Amino acid sequence: MSKPTSAALVILAILTLVAAIIASWNVPDSFHGFPGSSVTTSATGTTSDLPVLADKMPEFAGITQWWNTPDGAPLTPAKLKGQVVLVDFWTYSCVNCIRTYPFLKTMYDRYAQDGLTIVGVHTPEFAFEADPKNVGNEIVKNGLKYPVALDPKYGTWNAYNNSYWPAEYLFDRQGRLRRTHFGEGEYDQSEAAIRSLLTEGSVALPPAGPAVPTPDFSNIKTGETYFGLGRGDAFMGVPGDVGVDATYQIAARPEPDRWTVGGTWQFQPEYVQADSASAVFRFSVQANALHLVLSSVDGSDKQIEISIDGGAPRKMTINSPTLYTVATFSDGGRHVVQVKILDVGLRFYAATFS
């Protein structure tokens, strides 16, 4: 055999590099994986080209309560064999999770009779989200009809090696993981994947219905913001010691994407609490809407007054711990939102935007 020329060696090196790049396309960047999982292509002869990301579904570990199952009985991977299963990690005060409700409800309504099961794993971000009463109320309020599991100590979250709210794990009828998606959007791709796995079981499906629209995020310039000491950021001032009331002088106009307070406030790891009547909170934001995770200290009604850019105030009642939409903006521009506390004992956990 003759010795390859320099040009031939260069061409061979280029072809090898291209082959390696193409091979890498089979591995989804967002896949975190389970212990002992592997990434392979689908078995020859199936109707889907979705890869097999893991051979089996993890157990639902550490679940303390189930909703929307017969007599509240727990689900298991063994019981779910034969179904296409979408496991959705969520928490009820997360606006990103809330915005996925229309997609999840639509998928369940369209395909449950064809073999799709959705399992919502509610893993709390804040302590109040571990309360079964609060979770149950949110399930009813939002019309969630698919099974929901409460994962208060992150048992199932850790079994999946999950890191996100919301997060979707799609399993085929054999219990194999075939697709993951983290965050919002890609609803058309998610529905296509569901339909693909349903037809692997020889199910004839009607044409897909109207696509679920993805929210427009282009106007959201202010990032999710936490107020407690544990993850707090963007505060214009020096937080007081944990659990100790401190008095603050509010800034006349907060810096962009930062917040300021006036009056008596108490900092805790998860929240900051207004401890004086007429305490004031101000935040400079840019988005379509501002949502605040708020709660009353004792569960009783607390009144607040909301004003935008110094305009006329409007009142709102706060009681149960949840996400409240406190301001919307027609222009998607930057605005200063002020919340005046009329009743002592209001907790601020986080701000999210849409």
Structural domains present in the chain: 26-199 (3.40.30.10), 225-353 (2.60.120.260)
pLDDT bin (cut points 50, 70, 90) of residue 207 is confident
Residue 338 neighbours by CB under 8 Å, 6+ apart: 280, 281, 282, 306, 307, 308, 310
CA distance 54 to 89: 18
The pLDDT, as a whole number, for residue 197 is 96
CB 77 within 8 A of CB 169: no
Average pLDDT, the chain: 87
The pLDDT, as a whole number, for residue 219 is 87
pLDDT of 239 above 70 = yes
Segment 252-292, tens digit of pLDDT? 999 999 999 999 999 999 999 999 989 999 999 999 999 99
CB 116 within 8 A of CB 83: yes
Strands 334-341 and 259-267: unpaired
Phi, psi of 198 (to 5 degrees): -65, -40
Mean pLDDT within 28-36: 31
The pLDDT, as a whole number, for residue 182 is 97
Torsion of CA 342, 142, 118, 170, to 10 degrees: -50
Mean pLDDT within 291-301: 96
Mean pLDDT within 120-144: 98
Residue 135 neighbours by CB under 8 Å, 6+ apart: 65, 67, 92, 122, 129, 148, 150
CA distance 175 to 163: 21
pLDDT bin (cut points 50, 70, 90) of residue 204 is confident
Mean pLDDT within 333-343: 97
pTM of the model: 0.84
Which stretches of 97-165 are assigned E, i.e. beta strand?
Answer: 116-122, 148-150
CB 265 within 8 A of CB 274: yes
CA distance 277 to 269: 22
pLDDT bin (cut points 50, 70, 90) of residue 213 is confident
pLDDT bin (cut points 50, 70, 90) of residue 48 is low
Segment 323-332, tens digit of pLDDT? 999 999 999 8
CB 256 within 8 A of CB 308: no
Mean pLDDT within 288-302: 96
pLDDT of 124 above 70 = yes
pLDDT of 19 above 50 = no
Share of the chain above pLDDT 70, in %: 86
Per the structure block, which two tokens stand in for 116? 């799709």
Mean pLDDT within 54-76: 97
CA distance 239 to 228: 9
Per the structure block, which two tokens stand in for 157? 């979250």
257 closest CA partner among 236, 281, 231, 280: 236
pLDDT of 117 above 60 = yes
Amino acid at 285: V
Segment 165-192, tens digit of pLDDT? 999 999 999 999 999 999 999 999 999 9
The pLDDT, as a whole number, for residue 1 is 36
Strands 280-286 and 334-341: antiparallel
- Least confident range from 17-31, 48-62, 84-98: namely 17-31
With 0-12 CB in 10 A as exposed, 13-18 as middle and 19+ as buried, what is 107?
Answer: buried
The pLDDT, as a whole number, for residue 35 is 34
CA distance 181 to 179: 7
Among all chains, which residue has been given the structure tokens 């990690």? Answer: 89
Mean pLDDT within 8-22: 38
Phi, psi of 77 (to 5 degrees): -55, -35
Share of the chain above pLDDT 90, in %: 79
The pLDDT, as a whole number, for residue 343 is 94
